[in-house]
Amino acid sequence: MRSLSRPACPQAQRQARLGAIGRRSVAVVRAQAAAAPSKDSGVESISGVSAETVAAIAKARTNCLTATDLPLPNRRQGKVRDTYDLGEQVVIVTTDRQSAFDRLLASVPFKGQVLNQTAAWWFEQTAHIVPSALLSTPDPNVALMRKCKVFPVEFVCRGYMTGSTDTSLWTHYKAGEREYCGNAFPDGMRKNDRLAKNVITPTTKAEDHDVPISPAEIVAQGLMTQQEWDTVSAAALQIFEFGQREAAKRGLLLVDTKYEFGKDSDGTIRIIDEVHTPDSSRYWLASSYEQRHAAGQEPENIDKEFLRLWFRSRCDPYKDAVLPEAPAELVCELSKRYVYLYEKITGQAFQVPDLSVPINERIKANLKKAGL
């Protein structure tokens, strides 16, 4: 005898729908709770990122891009990026590796995607100042770039007396130095003070440890000609000032940043690396800066500085052979801040990728579609 199933009544259907919504809501709430910094971490959880994205961040901790294995030639691994040299072009893959103190600290969900897409947005916005080497972005984590001869100098632009690394302005000023990288600073400055004007504190570009250097030394050592230095340093300050104005419109302070430049085969100087990303730049919330600074408090930052400070307070990240593992909630908080800055700066909603597909496989498929 055939059994017949009776259709559920409207009330039962409604309860079933509410139950499904409730289960999804519970999952999101649990993910948010797991990703939120603990009370004793000293880190405030940033708001403004959707609950769905926060849940995706927690889930993506097991699907970070820490290494690449693309079927392309001449792979070179940097601190955060893997580069494949194709001859006239290079494929640059921005990974989720979190680097500071010349060390790998953690892998941060969606970090590579945020950096790559944020840089692409800024490349377009600053094209009126200096052209970039970007040709296309065939994948959220990938940039196809013109090959350039890179100037072996990082152009670090600063608007504030701050920082915690060995090359930071505050580290040297606190140690008694009043002249740094060809710039003079007065006595009596406090950490996080605004500088009288923006400055460049260049460093040598190295795989292991960047070294501060003055413009005069750059020219004397043949790293750049005087004309190249004058041209590129002026462009760097223009890009930085432009970025500060744009950040101010969004309630942010662009505190400091770094740029890299190179020359293409035609001799055109181009900016070649990330621009104003949360990895290369320090951002503070403008609304609370003055009040917190007057009270001797650290500014509300939405970059990776809090993670650097966490390591600084627990070890010597430059000398210790083994570093403590970054807490999961701090890694998730950093990911939230990367996403928050991306959305705040670009005005675009962050697109969570399909987490069921391993990132390396997705990249290979997208590069194949692009004919690479």
pLDDT at site 207: 60
Report the Cα 139 to chain-centroid distance in Å. 17
Asked if residue 268 belongs to a domain, the reply is: yes
pLDDT at site 316: 87
* Rounded distance between C-alpha atoms, residue 197 and residue 30, angstroms: 46
Asked if residue 282 belongs to a domain, the reply is: yes
pLDDT at site 205: 79
Asked if residue 144 belongs to a domain, the reply is: yes
* Rounded distance between C-alpha atoms, residue 328 and residue 313, angstroms: 17
Report the Cα 14 to chain-centroid distance in Å. 44
Q: Phi first, then psi: what are they for 142, rounded to 5°?
A: -125, 140
* Rounded distance between C-alpha atoms, residue 23 and residue 265, angstroms: 58
Contacts of 347 (CB under 8 A, 6+ apart): none
Asked if residue 6 belongs to a domain, the reply is: no
- Order of strands, sheet of 75-77, starting from the edge strand that comes earlier in the sequence: 75-77, 81-85, 89-94, 142-146, 134-139
- Nearest by Cα to 161 from 177, 140, 138: 177
* Residues of the chain under the 70 pLDDT cut: 1-43, 206-209
pLDDT at site 24: 44
Q: How many CA atoms lie within 13 A of 68 on its CB side?
A: 28
pLDDT at site 102: 79
Give the global pTM: 0.83
Strand pairing report for 179-180 and 183-184: antiparallel
Residue 79 near residue 280, CB atoms below 8 Å: no
Asked if residue 114 belongs to a domain, the reply is: yes
> What interhelical angle do 328-346 and 305-312 show, nearest 10?
160
Where helices occur in 251-358 by DSSP H, the ranges are 286-294, 305-312, 328-346
pLDDT at site 209: 67
The sign of the torsion formed by the CA atoms of 141, 142, 143, 147 equals positive
Asked if residue 17 belongs to a domain, the reply is: no
* Rounded distance between C-alpha atoms, residue 200 and residue 158, angstroms: 6
| Amino acid found at 123 | F
Write the DSSP assignment of 326-346 as a string of letters: PPHHHHHHHHHHHHHHHHHHH
| pLDDT tens per residue across span 63-119 | 899 999 999 999 999 889 999 999 999 999 999 998 888 788 889 999 999 999 999
Residue 209 near residue 102, CB atoms below 8 Å: yes
**What does the CA dihedral 127, 133, 137, 139 come to, rounded to 10 degrees?**
-140
Residue 81 near residue 38, CB atoms below 8 Å: no
Range(s) of the domain holding residue 111: 30-369
pLDDT at site 15: 54
What is the number of domains present in the chain?
Answer: 1
> What interhelical angle do 328-346 and 51-60 show, nearest 10?
130
Any idea what the CATH number is for the domain that residue 83 is in?
Answer: 3.30.470.20
Residue 43 near residue 306, CB atoms below 8 Å: yes
* Rounded distance between C-alpha atoms, residue 298 and residue 182, angstroms: 27
